[in-house]
Amino acid sequence: MPKTWKNAFNRPDATIGEAVATINDGGFEIGLVVDGDGRLLGTVTDGDVRRGLLAGLDMAAPVTEIMNARPVTAAPDTGRAALLDKMNAAVLRQMPLVDAEKRVVGLVHMRELTPPVEARTNWVVLMAGGLGERLRPLTQKTPKPLLSVGDKPILQSILEGFVEQRFREFYISVNYRADAIKAHFGDGAKWSVDIRYLEENQRLGTAGALKLIGERPESPLIVMNGDLVTRVNFQDLLDYHGQQQSRATMCVRQYDLQVPFGVVGIDGNRILMIDEKPVHRFLVNAGIYVLDPDVIDLIPEERAFDMTDLFSSVVEDRHMTAAFPIHEYWLDVGRVDDLERANLDFTNGVGK
């Protein structure tokens, strides 16, 4: 069945998880929260979801907790030029059309008003120089990024995910078994993209190889570890980076750590409470980043420098950094059991 603007509707009692499904599957990359008469109560975008997660909400929380209750709208008879002006002024990709009673009568997406973008200008840097020591003996002869998940190497799946989202300019950082990676991917012609290599003659850490790029990019660049399996929408990531006016954005994942015992709270020798097997929740680095071009200037020449060092430098310079919480499928293939899980997920259709 063809998707219409009504596919973007959510009930006021919907959960954040249900709104995410609408955003991903509705065809308009937005959720419209409406009452029983179709009146617009609020909108939910990918950015609203990420901010809610950072605030500690989970996917079962009510969508009304994160919706924008004062969305920018337009009348149904608004012309194309006026819609473009209004959407550009508010930095919006969608605009609900509402009548005088605030009932939704349409939904316009920016792609309907502007020519399609053939290719994205952002460069992508894939870090593929690691030794893969925790995956020995599998990585004794094969570099970790060329280990297969499903029917293809991890790094190929990453590349093809970016190609599917219309990225065309790639750098691959190589060190261990570099020849095998270069032989597999070549110059990228097989995928109709341009691939260049950052060859580390010494190990430069997770950020140091960026200094090997011979020219400065004109747009923010995406940097990603070459051992991740994920379904992140990278346009959402770039949009978030711009909306936050961030110089460096780090993707983060929720990580829960459960204490296997009852934790006892005391005052002197008096027991005040017992918390049985409490769960502590953290946000951890997910290995995907967006960097403004001039951030590369903070990386020193010819020595190991990690992404954590780079983000610390940006923070010390009092520039804006942002955390982008991932709720999509994500798996770091760092150990043998991670590789087995990734292959099982692939077999079961998880994360596709």
Co-location of 34 and 163 in the same domain: no
Residue 138 has pLDDT above 80, yes or no: no
Q: What is the C-alpha separation between 83 and 74, in angstroms, rounded?
A: 7
Co-location of 83 and 208 in the same domain: no
Residue 325: count other Cβ atoms within 10 Å of its Cβ. 18
The predicted-structure confidence for 278-302, as pLDDT tens digits, reads as follows 888 888 999 999 999 999 999 998 7
Q: How far is CA 4 from the centre of its chain?
A: 26
What pLDDT shows up at residue 214?
A: 82
Q: What's the mean pLDDT in 88-112?
A: 90
Last residue of a domain, one of 85, 113, 141: 113
Residue 1 has pLDDT above 80, yes or no: no
Co-location of 227 and 172 in the same domain: yes
| Residue 97: C-alpha distances to residues 42, 50, 203, 237 (Å) | 13, 25, 54, 26
Q: Considering the domain boundaries, does residue 352 fall inside one?
A: no
Q: Is 275 left (phi over 0), alpha (psi -120 to 50) or beta?
A: beta
Residue 2 has pLDDT above 70, yes or no: no
Co-location of 51 and 195 in the same domain: no
Among residues 205, 203, 234, the alpha carbon closest in space to that of 307 is found at 205
| Residue 66: C-alpha distances to residues 15, 53, 72, 92 (Å) | 10, 9, 16, 17
Q: Considering the domain boundaries, does residue 233 fall inside one?
A: yes
The predicted-structure confidence for 141-162, as pLDDT tens digits, reads as follows 888 899 888 888 999 999 999 9
Q: Considering the domain boundaries, does residue 61 fall inside one?
A: yes
Q: Report the CATH number at residue 201.
A: 3.90.550.10
Taking each helix axis from N to C end, the angle separating 154-164 and 178-185, rounded to the nearest 10 degrees, works out to 40
Among residues 248, 235, 229, the alpha carbon closest in space to that of 159 is found at 229
Q: What percent of the chain has pLDDT over 70?
A: 97
The predicted-structure confidence for 218-245, as pLDDT tens digits, reads as follows 999 999 999 898 989 998 899 899 989 9
Co-location of 30 and 143 in the same domain: no
Q: What's the mean pLDDT in 32-61?
A: 92
What pLDDT shows up at residue 311?
A: 95
What pLDDT shows up at residue 337?
A: 84
Residue 97 CB-half CA count within 13 A: 15
Co-location of 35 and 151 in the same domain: no
Domains in the chain, number: 2
Predicted confidence band of residue 206 (pLDDT cuts 50, 70, 90): confident
Predicted confidence band of residue 117 (pLDDT cuts 50, 70, 90): low
Residue 258 has pLDDT above 70, yes or no: yes
Among residues 94, 122, 107, the alpha carbon closest in space to that of 235 is found at 122
Q: What's the mean pLDDT in 40-50?
A: 93
Co-location of 144 and 257 in the same domain: yes
What pLDDT shows up at residue 113?
A: 84
Co-location of 160 and 208 in the same domain: yes
Co-location of 91 and 239 in the same domain: no
What pLDDT shows up at residue 307?
A: 93
Residue 120: both structure tokens together: 């994205």
What pLDDT shows up at residue 352?
A: 57
103: containing domain: 5-113
Q: What is the C-alpha separation between 16 and 194, in angstroms, rounded?
A: 38
Residue 177: count other Cβ atoms within 10 Å of its Cβ. 21
Last residue of a domain, one of 113, 144, 172: 113
Last residue of a domain, one of 97, 113, 129: 113
Residue 154: both structure tokens together: 């991890």
β-strand partners of 31:
44
Q: Considering the domain boundaries, does residue 47 fall inside one?
A: yes
Residue 195 has pLDDT above 90, yes or no: yes
| Residue 299: C-alpha distances to residues 209, 222, 294, 305 (Å) | 9, 16, 10, 7
Co-location of 38 and 157 in the same domain: no
